[in-house]
Structure 1
Amino acid sequence: MLKDTQPSFLSFLSLYKYTKNIMTFSSLPYIPLKFHFPCNNLLLYLSDYQSSFLQEKKYLVIMALQRALLYSFFIISIFIISSYSCSQEDPLNNYLEEQASGYDSQAYPSYIDDGGFKDLIKLRSDVLGLQTFSKERGSKSTPVITVGVKDFGVKDDGGDDTDDTETFERAWKEACSSPEGAIIVVPEYTYRLKPIRFQGPCKSNIALQVHGTIEASCNQSDYKKDSRHWLLFDNVENLLVEGGGTIDGNGKIWWENSCKVNKSLPCKEAPTAVTFFECQNLIVKDLKIQNSQQMHVSFKKSNHVLVSNLTVTSPEESPNTDGIHITKTQNIQITDSVIGTGDDCISIVSGSHNVQAKGITCGPGHGISIGSLGAHDSKDHVSEVTVNGAKLSGTANGVRIKTWQGGSGNVSNIKFQNIEMNKVTNPIIIDQNYCDQDKPCKQQKSALQVKNVVYKNIKGTSASEVAMRFDCSKAYPCQGILLQDINLERAGDRTAKALCNNVKLATLGVVYPKCS
């Protein structure tokens, strides 16, 4: 502010010096002028004995005053105009302040970028080095050992009683204990495994190359010790899993005995096909994962994860078979993957931060979801999630945020952009009254806060009349919701509509349908 006000101050100083020069030039005694600036008026006080001199030189003083005041007015005008111009440099920011005061652009500065996918993940060099590690195979610069699972013997009968679990355990133990980098090779073949834990920490980097097919045991009694996991990677750092092979959860027996399929059966836990628990610096790519007992791939309490080129599939009617599930995981990037299951293609739940997905093809399934959150009055947080570039076809939902009543915490700084919808039932939805149980949920006053959510360049068709649904909490309305360039028609040339309850939102560009 000091810099901006200096011109006006200098103009008055110039007047002071100019008047002083007049006095000196006339060879009269110089008497300092006293200036007061209330309401920007200049008051000039002089002694009585100088009045005659001022009459003679009056026009000079008036000219000086006029020049100074005009200059000051000019500077002030420029300052006002420049300030106004600065305020107009970001009209979206002004619009959001007026129309959606809850939107915090400082907390989420990338809402007006060019749509490019920004890589916010800071991976250490040794993670990226894993991609070349498996190709160097024992070069002088990178000493590694190669461990083949067939070196430890596999059973060739291929029947339901085949068990190659011990073979994989021995191969992992040798690789994990090696002070040099290790490559575990799973050649083309069909292997059958019971639940297995690939335990870390290991002494060096490990690459697991799956070229064949790994099938899960379909004997439910094999899962008595651990009913929640089939292939579990526990506390492993610097791990690469790749190879172009197939991991098959053999989930049919589990689906048939699910309480969601057969209401007369008690609800029981089912295993996740592949779980990465407390893993650091992880790359999972070029794999086909199918027919999971429940979730296909889960990342839990992990950090610095790159996932790419996965094909994840199970029948549309298979219950709870989320494609990629992310919980309490930070800095994870998922790219160029095709997912079609009986549940969410991607589900992001509590404790997850800095999650990015790009180039996702989803369908069938329940769409890309944040949540559910807040169940059983829990306190949950999810933040910094970007989905940039996705195609959803025939899914129950498109991009969804779902929270239970009664919970606490927040969902913040979320961005969905460049998304195509093809006959999606709920293309855009925030549901803060989520209730996935047989009995009606009780009305409660507390809820998670949903804020700073951007929907940008989302186009396509809705299979239902309601293409956009914001069913937010009365106690904690959704804040800072931005809709930009949205066009969701109802399939069959019928009219689509939007339902908006307890939401503060702003719009940019053409947005259809609009809130009624």
Structure 2
Amino acid sequence: MALLKHLLFSFTIFIISFVFCYGSLQEDPLTNIYVHHSPSVDDGGTLFKNFNKQIENVLSLNRFEKPSSLKMVNVNDYGAKRNGDDDSEAFKKAWDEVCTSGEAILVVPKDNYLLKPIRFSGPCKPNIEVQISGTLEAADDPSDYEEDSTHWLVFDNIKNLYVYGGGTLDGNGKIWWENSCKKNKKRSCKDAPTALTFESCEDLTVENLNIENAQQIHVSFQDSENVKVSGLNVIAPEDSPNTDGIHVTKTKNIQISDSVIGTGDDCISIVHGSKNVEATNITCGPGHGISIGSLGAGKSKDVVSGIKVNGAKLFGTKNGVRIKTWQGGSGSASDIKFQNIEMTNVTNPIIINQNYCDKKKRPCQKAGSEKSAVEIKNVVYENISGTSASDVAVKFDCSKKFPCQKIKLQNIDLACEGGDDAEAQCNNVDKPSYIGHVKPRCSKE
């Protein structure tokens, strides 16, 4: 009997320990932070086969597991004046301290700072952060950008970087817009600075920032890997030229979420070399919509794949979800999904333009005369609804020699802004497929 009591007591202790440990695991806040809630993809088991796995790698960035006490490096302690004079040297000195020492935070307090172009370069020692609570204003004298006319603030060659803080980056772009060839036809076309660039970064988190009035592109992610972006507010006037909100190039495994973007160009643009890109809960407008491309400019070979836009609201934009490729280019845009998107008064809600040509730069080829094209295949449009500002809500203008392949439309409901039926214009689409209610849909070619 004593032995039986002993066994029952041991079994009870085991059960209590198991329940306690299991409950603790369920309540671990680190476990819950990065749960991925994107709907599953059902595309015959082939499309996005490895996409969700790659995105999970992005979402598991280890930024929360940081030391409890990092060294605070305040730019004010390094000579920042905060009186309208150039504060660049103070920021450079503070950055050098953070980068070389590691275990540190570059702190920008709630104040105003004027900055000329700066490059915050690595490699750096581990565990560094940049906390921007104040306002950074770009110098507006073009002569300040003579050494590098295409960048204002750059972070390059840094691993495990966390940039945040709720502050504002003001590109002070008015002088650049006024001198743009799109505003002043007498001037030659040339690039202006990108406000904020992340180049050759790995395991990067950027969140809770305001970026406004960029000289040209607002935020660019280039040659980077494993990137998490959230809580950005990107704003510029509707007539500001080439002011893309978030630009992604040659970057792999990037998630952009919970951001509001309204500029004079694409809210998000995804170009050559980008792979496994997911954008979720994006509000866009005004602007040119969410674009893949342009691709293939100057007869280049461009490749993008594994792109998912899941959850977006677009208001009054020139385009909704767009794929744009130049005539004469090569490469491919594949494994792309646009889903759960609401359109309001959008001029071209769904558009593929495989015959893009800028007549100002070169003569356009005649349709069907192209010797190559950026091939477009495996594109899914699912759960897209709303209103079109034009009569044509779906426009597929694909190459005659290299038609768009494996285009699927599922649960599409787009009408004209006034309530009339919208049209679909579909050229050179190889047997598009339809699931559920799809309106409008391509007529037989």
For the aligned pair, the TM-score class normalised by the smaller chain equals 0.7 to 0.9
**2:387 is the counterpart of 1:464:** no
Consecutive unaligned residues in structure 1, runs of 5 or more: 1-91, 94-103, 112-116, 139-143
- Counterpart of 1:166? 89
Partner secondary structure for residue 93 of structure 2? helix
- Counterpart of 2:195? 273
**2:433 is the counterpart of 1:506:** yes
Structure 1 residues 157 and 460 mapped into 2: Cα distance closer, same or farther (>3 Å)? same
Partner secondary structure for residue 128 of structure 1? coil
Partner secondary structure for residue 144 of structure 2? helix
Instruction: Give CA-to-partner distance per residue, 1:323-369, whole Å, 9 cap, x none.
Output: 00000000000000000000000000000000000000000000000
Contact 1:137–1:146 (CA<8 Å) still a contact in 2? no
- Counterpart of 2:230? 308
Instruction: Give CA-to-partner distance per residue, 1:468-492, whole Å, 9 cap, x none.
Output: 0000001110000000000000011
1:209 alignment partner AA: Q
**2:96 is the counterpart of 1:157:** no
Contact 1:107–1:413 (CA<8 Å) still a contact in 2? no
Structure 1 residues 252 and 137 mapped into 2: Cα distance closer, same or farther (>3 Å)? farther
**2:55 is the counterpart of 1:121:** yes
- Counterpart of 1:515? 442
d(CA) in 2 for partners of 1:199, 1:493: 54
**TM-score, normalising length: structure 1:** 0.75
2:44 alignment partner AA: S
Structure 1 residues 351 and 316 mapped into 2: Cα distance closer, same or farther (>3 Å)? same
Partner secondary structure for residue 260 of structure 1? coil
Contact 1:405–1:434 (CA<8 Å) still a contact in 2? yes
Q: CA deviation at 1:318?
A: 0.3
- Counterpart of 1:243? 165
**TM-score, normalising length: structure 2:** 0.86
Contact 1:412–1:453 (CA<8 Å) still a contact in 2? yes
| More off after superposition, 281-290 vs 439-448 | 439-448
Greater strand share, 1 or 2? 2
Q: CA deviation at 1:124?
A: 7.4
- Counterpart of 2:63? 130
Contact 1:490–1:496 (CA<8 Å) still a contact in 2? yes
d(CA) in 1 for partners of 2:329, 2:46: 23
Count of residues paired in the alignment: 398
**2:103 is the counterpart of 1:181:** yes
Q: CA deviation at 1:388?
A: 0.3
Q: Which stretches of structure 1, 4 residues or more, deviate above 4 A after TM superposition?
A: none
Q: CA deviation at 1:105?
A: 3.5
Q: CA deviation at 1:107?
A: 3.0
Consecutive unaligned residues in structure 2, runs of 5 or more: 1-40
- Counterpart of 1:105? 44
**2:354 is the counterpart of 1:421:** no
Partner secondary structure for residue 376 of structure 1? helix
The alignment-based identity, stated in percent, is 61
Contact 1:247–1:288 (CA<8 Å) still a contact in 2? yes
**2:323 is the counterpart of 1:397:** no
Q: What is the Cα-based RMSD across aligned positions, in Å? A: 1.9
Q: CA deviation at 1:495?
A: 2.6
1:130 alignment partner AA: R
d(CA) in 2 for partners of 1:407, 1:225: 32
- Counterpart of 2:254? 332
d(CA) in 2 for partners of 1:124, 1:449: 28
Instruction: Give CA-to-partner distance per residue, 1:443-481, whole Å, 9 cap, x none.
Output: 422101100000000000000000000000011100000
Contact 1:185–1:208 (CA<8 Å) still a contact in 2? yes
Partner secondary structure for residue 151 of structure 1? helix
d(CA) in 1 for partners of 2:45, 2:378: 10
Instruction: Give CA-to-partner distance per residue, 1:24-55, whole Å, 9 cap, x none.
Output: xxxxxxxxxxxxxxxxxxxxxxxxxxxxxxxx
d(CA) in 2 for partners of 1:105, 1:409: 24
Q: CA deviation at 1:269?
A: 1.6
Structure 1 residues 458 and 289 mapped into 2: Cα distance closer, same or farther (>3 Å)? same
1:300 alignment partner AA: Q
Contact 1:122–1:304 (CA<8 Å) still a contact in 2? no
Q: CA deviation at 1:106?
A: 4.4
Contact 1:247–1:289 (CA<8 Å) still a contact in 2? yes
1:213-228 pair list within 5 angstroms? 213-228=135-150
Partner secondary structure for residue 55 of structure 2? coil
Contact 1:130–1:207 (CA<8 Å) still a contact in 2? no
d(CA) in 1 for partners of 2:45, 2:400: 26
